[in-house]
Amino acid sequence: MPSISEVKKHDNANDCWVIVNNKIYDVTEFLPEHPGGQKIILKFAGKDCTKKFEQIHPPDTLDKYLAPEKYLGEVEQNSDEEDEGEEEEEEELDEEEKQRLELIERKPPLSQIYNLNDFEYVASKVMEKQAWAYYSSGCDDEITLRENHFAYQRIFFKPRVLRNVTNIDFSTEILGFKSSVPFYVTATALGKLGHPDGEKCLTRACFKENVIQMVPTLSSCSFQEIVDERNKEKDQTQFFQLYVNSDRKITQKIVENCEKNNIKALFITVDAPQLGRREKDMRSKYTLDASNIQNDVEEDEGIDRSQGAARAISSFIDTGLNWEDIKWFKKITKLPIILKGIQCVDDALLAIEYGVEGIVLSNHGGRQLEFARSSIEVLADLMPILKQKKLDKKIEIFIDGGVRRASDILKAIALGAKGVGIGRPFLYAMSAYGDDGVVKAMRILKDELTMNMRLLGVNTVGELNENYLDLLNLHNRFSSGDQLFQQVYEPLKLPAFKPKL
């Protein structure tokens, strides 16, 4: 059992120990692989980092991902020495951070939030810099990220009038499970970056509003914490998003655990054999101060830490995953299998051939392949072909990416989607206003659904079809963009110059 003074000696990049929950770990070799960058770990080298660690990671992360020999034992009890782990709290705040804390005090009241873009704006001001960068970033020049949103603006409606639209019902079934709305909360990693309760906050809001939640593999709360937060009496529906591990035994265990915990469907992510290059996120992890300047030599020796981080978070994901594996999944589970991240008609047809229950047309919210097309455009290509081949009833089709208004949802449903996944808007609502924010975001979408369906002349989502849409311009990728979106969209930054010494 090492003592605190022993731990304190291992305080640098070549020899780095940390304490989490009274347990000591040697993280020296893990430093270059840490998805959040090594700087944050080095801040706690030789110290207790429990508080910071638990803000982001599920409690069992280190025991799960570090080799067993990296656990060095518990801190020696009865040690009179004070640990300096919490010193960080007393650090002097920089101007940017002072301004952020002041803005949190002056946050607009929830009553002043009228649409999902409003949540994004407030979140961009009140979230911690790195958390905002992680949530908001897209890959490369963020062209697909923006296109996801703009594509919806190239579709116009052809409404019908003089119909009795007194009763509006937008409830639906998703994979046979009742949902009050034709949208669901899609899987997004690291919920605690935005809110101390992380994914549990989304679980509670989903229950209140009868919306289905997809639980991510890379959640901040542990899987068990999220399923335990569910309302058991009402059998609240949750799906699970699966990153497939190269070690299939681990994957099988995760799937069995999903079944045991009454998860209703398995969404296998197929668009992320390696994580995309998200530059906003990468840049936010590098803070310019004098101590960084001397590190520049090391950086120039070809050690690209940011790339290493991207690889690290995806390093357990099997790059060898292929269509034949789908047969294995069908053997090991009776859960419905849905492939998340299909991006073209040919793969959608293959998915049907391999007998999955559904697909999500998705480009991962513009975070993976730059110049992947928007899902709504792929959907418009796909449906006529499926109809022609009489395959349109064979599987359920979902789409996600860039959905910010109920009008976007209705366009997707009219084109043939069974439901729509929404990611960032709920993260932003949660980060800025917690449970109340997420509930409000869902209610805003419900209000918009009611109004738009009345004005379109439909009472139920089942009545929608492509006759309600003008698709003439959809494939013509030009958009002047909208004002509201332009205001909240944060442009990518250029490299910062070093401070004066």
Ligand X SMILES: Cc1cc2nc3c(=O)[nH]c(=O)nc-3n(C[C@H](O)[C@H](O)[C@H](O)COP(=O)(O)O)c2cc1C
Residue placing its CB nearer to ligand X in the complex, 216 or 419: 216
Q: Going by DSSP bridges, is the β-strand pair 238-242/23-26 parallel, antiparallel, or unpaired?
A: unpaired
189 binds ligand X (CB under 6 A): yes
- Residue 163: DSSP 8-state: S
Part of the chain binding ligand X (CB under 6 A), chosen from 17-25, 39-47, 249-257, 362-370? 362-370
Contacts of 73 (CB under 8 A, 6+ apart): 1, 2, 23, 24
Name the one range near ligand X by CB under 6 A: 3-11, 26-34, 187-195, 331-339: 187-195
Q: Which of residues 439-498 bind ligand X (CB under 6 A)?
A: none
Give yes or no for residue 57 binding ligand X (CB under 6 A).
Answer: no
400 is catalytic: no
- Six-digit token string for 262: 């009454």
Which SS3 state, helix, strand or coil, does residue 470 take? strand
Helices (H) and strands (E) in the chain, counts: 21, 17
Is residue 194 within the footprint of ligand X (CB under 6 A)? no
Residue 145 to residue 143: CA distance in whole angstroms: 5
Looking at the Cβ atoms of 372 and 458, the one nearer to ligand X is 372
DSSP state, residue 180: S
CB of 340 to ligand X, least distance (A): 5
CB atoms within 10 A of CB 466: 16
Query: Which of positions 330-359 make contact with ligand X (CB under 6 A)?
Result: 340
Q: Does 362 bind ligand X (CB under 6 A)?
A: yes
Minimal distance in Å, beta carbon 476 to ligand X?
Answer: 22
Query: Can you tell me the distance from the alpha carbon of 487 to that of 481, in angstroms, rounded to the nearest whole number?
Result: 11
Nearer to ligand X, 16 or 265 (CB): 265
263-292 positions binding ligand X, by CB under 6 A: 269
Residue 216 interacting with ligand X (CB under 6 A)? yes
Contact with ligand X (CB under 6 A) among 365, 416, 419, 437:
365
Of 214 and 456, nearer to ligand X (C-beta) is 214
Parallel, antiparallel, or unpaired: how do β-strands 156-157 and 71-74 relate? unpaired
Helices assigned H by DSSP within 60-183: 61-65, 95-105, 116-126, 129-136, 143-150
Catalytic residue among 347, 364, 428, 435: 364
Of 93-101, 154-162, 166-174, 183-191: span binding ligand X (CB under 6 A): 183-191
The residue number with the shortest CB distance to ligand X is 423
CB atoms within 10 A of CB 211: 25
- DSSP summary character for residue 289: S
Q: Measuring CA to CA, how many Å separate 19 from each of 36, 58, 73, 291, 394?
A: 18, 15, 10, 24, 52
The window from 70-78, 295-303, 360-368, 485-493 that contacts ligand X (CB under 6 A) reads 360-368
Closest CA to 472 of 158, 160, 156, 148: 156
Identify which of 131, 495, 41 has the alpha carbon closest to the alpha carbon of residue 296. 495
User: Quick one: 17 or 134, whose CB is closer to ligand X?
Assistant: 134
Structure tokens at 444: 């805003």
143 forms part of the interface with ligand X (CB under 6 A):
no
To the nearest whole angstrom, how small is the minimum distance from the Cβ of residue 192 to ligand X?
12
Concerning whether 195 is annotated as a catalytic residue, the answer is no
Single out the catalytic residue among 118, 271, 400, 408: 271
Contacts of residue 42, defined as CB under 8 A and 6 or more positions apart, other chains included, come to: 12, 13, 16, 31
**Residues in 400-429 that interact with ligand X by CB under 6 A:** 400-403, 421-424
Decide: is 135 part of the binding site for ligand X (CB under 6 A): yes
The answer to whether 271 is a known catalytic residue is: yes
Between 24 and 360, CB nearer to ligand X = 360
- Decide whether 2 or 419 has the Cβ nearer to ligand X: 419
Q: Rule CB under 6 A: which residues touch ligand X?
A: 134-135, 148, 186-189, 216, 218, 241, 269, 340, 362, 364-365, 367, 400-403, 421-424
Catalytic residue set? 243, 271, 364
